[in-house]
Amino acid sequence: MTMSMAFAAAPAIPRSLTMPRVITLPVPERFDAAVPVVPPLAARHPAGKQKAVVVMGATGTGKSRLAVDLALRFGGEVINSDKMQVYAGLDVVTNKVTDDECAGVPHHLIGVAHPDDEFTAADFRREAARAAAAAAGRGRVPIIAGGSNSYIEELVEGDRRAFRERYECCFLWVDVQLPPLHDFVARRVDQMCRRGLVDEVAAVFDPRRTDYSKGIWRAIGVPELDAYLRSRGLDDEERSRMLAAAVNEIKWNTFRLACRQRGKIQRLAHMWRVLRVDATEVFQKRGPAADEAWQRLVAAPCIDVVRSFLFEEQECSSNMVAAGGKVSVFASAAATSGKTSVFASTAAVV
C-alpha cells in the first residue's frame, strides 16, 4: 500500500460519536512567553477526595509532553497508561520517554513487565492505583498519561469504581485532526527508523516465534518486520523492497490505531466530563514555531484548567459550556506559560 493510499483509506470518525460532554478549551486571549516560570506547587488535600489528572489522546498527540509540563508546574508524578510501554525492552519501538524528556519528573509503570507476560487491564488498575496512592501520600499529584484507553477505563470504572471513590479526576484530551496527525506519525516512524527501530527489533528477533499476539511482541513495529527479518537469503534489492513495505505497514497500522483511540475517547466522553484541547496547529508547524504554538495552544490553557481544578480557584461546570461546545478560559495563562519544554520540537512528541 502506498502512502497516498494509506492516507485516503484512513477510517473517519463517525459523526454520531461527537459527544456533548466534550468541552473544547479555547486559546488564551494573551500569551507572553517571556514570563518567568513559577515554582512547582504540590497540591495537598488533607480531607475528602484526593485529586488526579488524566491525560488522554491518540498516539503521537503529545500526551507525555503535556503530562511532564503539568507535573513540573504542580509537583506531579506521571503514571504511564500505555500498554506497550509497561513492558521492558524495545524502547524505540514503544516510544518510551527518555531521561531528558522526563525532566526529573518521576514516571511509574514504564518497563515493569516481562516482555512475554500478559499485563492485563486488571493488572494495570491494581498497579496504577498503588502508584497513585504512593504519589498522593507524598503530597504529589498523580498524572495518568497514555494512549491505552482500555487501561484508563479499567482504572476509573473497574473494581466497583474504587478509584473514583478516592480521587476526583480531571480528564484532558489532547486532540489533533487526522490529516496532520497522519503526516506527523509518518515522519515520526521515519525518525524512529533513524534512531534504530529496525536494529532494535532485529536484535531480539527469534525465527521460532510465530505468535505476535502476546506481550510486547504485538507492539506496532515488531510483527511488521517479521518477513523482512526472515529474508536474509534474498538479494539486497528485494530486501530493500521488503523493508520499505514493512515501514509503510508500520505507518498504516499506527494511523489505524490513532483512529481507534480517538473514537474510544469520544465514547468515554459519554461517561466522563472531558476537556478537549485542539493541538492541530502545533502539528502544522516545525521547530521553534511549533514549540511556541504548543505553549500557547496546549500547555497554557491546560495549566489554567489544572490550577483551577487542584486549588479550586474557579469551578468549571457543565452549565459553562457556550455555543459551539466551548468554555470560557478560567484565568489568564500568561503568568504560567513561560516554561520552555524539554521536548525540543514536535518531532519529539510522544
- Is 30 a residue whose pLDDT tops 90? no
Confidence at residue 28, expressed as pLDDT on a 0 to 100 scale: 53
Domain residue spans of the chain: 20-178+266-348
In angstroms, what is the C-alpha Rg of the chain? 20
Q: Which three cell numbers stand for residue 283?
A: 502539528
Confidence at residue 36, expressed as pLDDT on a 0 to 100 scale: 37
At 115, is the pLDDT very low, low, confident or very high (cuts 50, 70, 90)? very high
- Is 195 a residue whose pLDDT tops 60? yes
Question: What share of the chain has pLDDT > 90, as a percent?
Answer: 73
The answer to whether the beta carbons of residues 58 and 182 sit under 8 Å apart is no
282-292 in b/e burial notation, b at 16+ Cβ within 10 A? bbbbeeeebbe
d(CA 174, CA 22): 12
Residues 211-215: contacts with CB under 8 Å, at least 24 apart: 214/116, 214/118, 215/87, 215/113, 215/114, 215/115, 215/116, 215/117, 215/118, 215/119
| CA-based torsion, 334, 290, 69, 145: positive or negative | positive
* Cα 46–chain centre separation: 30
At 243, is the pLDDT very low, low, confident or very high (cuts 50, 70, 90)? very high
| CATH architecture for segment(s) 20-178+266-348 | 3-Layer(aba) Sandwich (3.40)
d(CA 28, CA 42): 24
Tell me the pLDDT tens digit for each residue of 304-341: 999 999 997 544 433 333 323 333 222 222 223 333 33
Phi-psi region of 137 (alpha: psi -120 to 50; beta: other; left: phi over 0): alpha
Residue showing cell 483509506: 9
Tell me the pLDDT tens digit for each residue of 131-173: 999 999 999 999 999 999 999 999 999 999 999 999 999 999 9
The answer to whether the beta carbons of residues 136 and 77 sit under 8 Å apart is no
Among the listed residues 160, 137, 167, the one whose alpha carbon sits nearest the alpha carbon of residue 44: 137
Question: What is the 3-state secondary structure of 172-201?
Answer: EEEECCHHHHHHHHHHHHHHHHHCCHHHHH
d(CA 304, CA 335): 10
Three-state secondary-structure class, residue 109: coil
Helix (H) or strand (E) holding 288, with range, is helix 287-294
- Is 68 a residue whose pLDDT tops 80? yes
- Tell me the angle at which helices 121-137 and 149-166 cross, rounded to the nearest 10 degrees: 50
Residue showing cell 514493512: 246
- Is 224 a residue whose pLDDT tops 60? yes
Other Cβ atoms within 10 Å of 105 Cβ, number: 21
